[in-house]
Amino acid sequence: MPIRIPDNLPAAEFLEDENIFVMQGNRANTQDIRPLQILIVNLMPKKIETEVQLLRLLSNTPLQINIELMHMVSHVSKNISAEYLAHFYKTFEQVAHNKYDGLIVTGAPVENMPFEAVDYWDELCALMGWAKKNVYSTLSICWGAQAALYHHYGIQKYPLERKLSGIYTHRPVVNKHPLLRGFDEIFYMPHSRYTEVRQADVENHPELQVLAVSDTAGLAISASLDARQFFIQGHMEYDRLTLAEEYIRDTKQGINPDIPENYYPGNSPKAIPIMYWRSHANLLFVNWLNYYVYQRTPYDITAIT
């Protein structure tokens, strides 16, 4: 089944080139089923790139999904036009009267700033508070996960000595957890961050559980026991070349970045990276949609509390 996206969204062209079934809104209206309502809060600078990455993963399911995109009005985006945002994105004020089966909050390149210093922090806090009673299950990614853990549980982030950038091995620590169904005993996930949330801090909260960790990258996946919140410290959604593009960008800016670990063959930036996290990325999103959105959300979406 397809994902339903806003009419004429540019990401559709990229997805259709990959033979991913997307459905424009007009056609989807003729199908007599109750599609899942998913809200994506896209905090990343390259909006279209992130749209493609997330929509690709959300499409790999037999469920019909209605996608809505949201941006922060308290932040001026430098990499996308105001016209694009006005056409394809909604504001918190425009979605606040709705209920959603699922919410995805992306990462953002603001890790080195205190949470309260981020220009849209108050707006994001309002969204996270609203989501507790108006969204059944939330999946937060990288800085979005750190922000959610801080807002809901007071869990701090800590600066790393160097940027953590690369592809790292992870292992599940909760046997047979539905979010990790089908995962191998070792799986790979990209990371790209300057800060971390520590496993011990999450374990100090009995209402949370650690689901997967890495010996090198640390805490990877955690969740609330009621399955209403999932926190992903890495970037399962990243494409093959996303880390390469970040490395080139940081090099041009004179940051002198380390070469992403376990990424380039022969550790040579001239080599084409091998993508070996795609299957688990698809599993993660499919499992979330199936076990924690589709199977648990009430059919009458207005009954979400």
Q: Are strands 36-41 and 65-70 parallel, antiparallel or unpaired?
A: parallel
Spatial neighbors of 275 by CB under 8 A, at least 6 apart, are: 239, 240
Establish whether 237 is a catalytic residue.
yes
| Residue tagged active-site, from 142, 177, 191, 280 | 142
Q: Using CA atoms, how far apart are residues 196 and 216, in angstroms rounded to an integer?
A: 12
Q: Using CA atoms, how far apart are residues 213 and 224, in angstroms rounded to an integer?
A: 16
Spatial neighbors of 83 by CB under 8 A, at least 6 apart, are: none
Establish whether 170 is a catalytic residue.
no
CA–CA–CA angle 130, 135, 136 (5° rounding):
140
Torsion of CA 256, 114, 201, 286, to 10 degrees: -70
Establish whether 207 is a catalytic residue.
no
The greatest distance separating any two alpha carbons of the chain, rounded to the nearest whole angstrom, comes to 55
Residue 151 to residues 54, 115, 224, 239, Cα–Cα distance (Å): 24, 9, 14, 29
| Residue tagged active-site, from 49, 51, 111, 237 | 237
| Residue tagged active-site, from 71, 177, 235, 280 | 235
The set of catalytic residues is 142, 235, 237
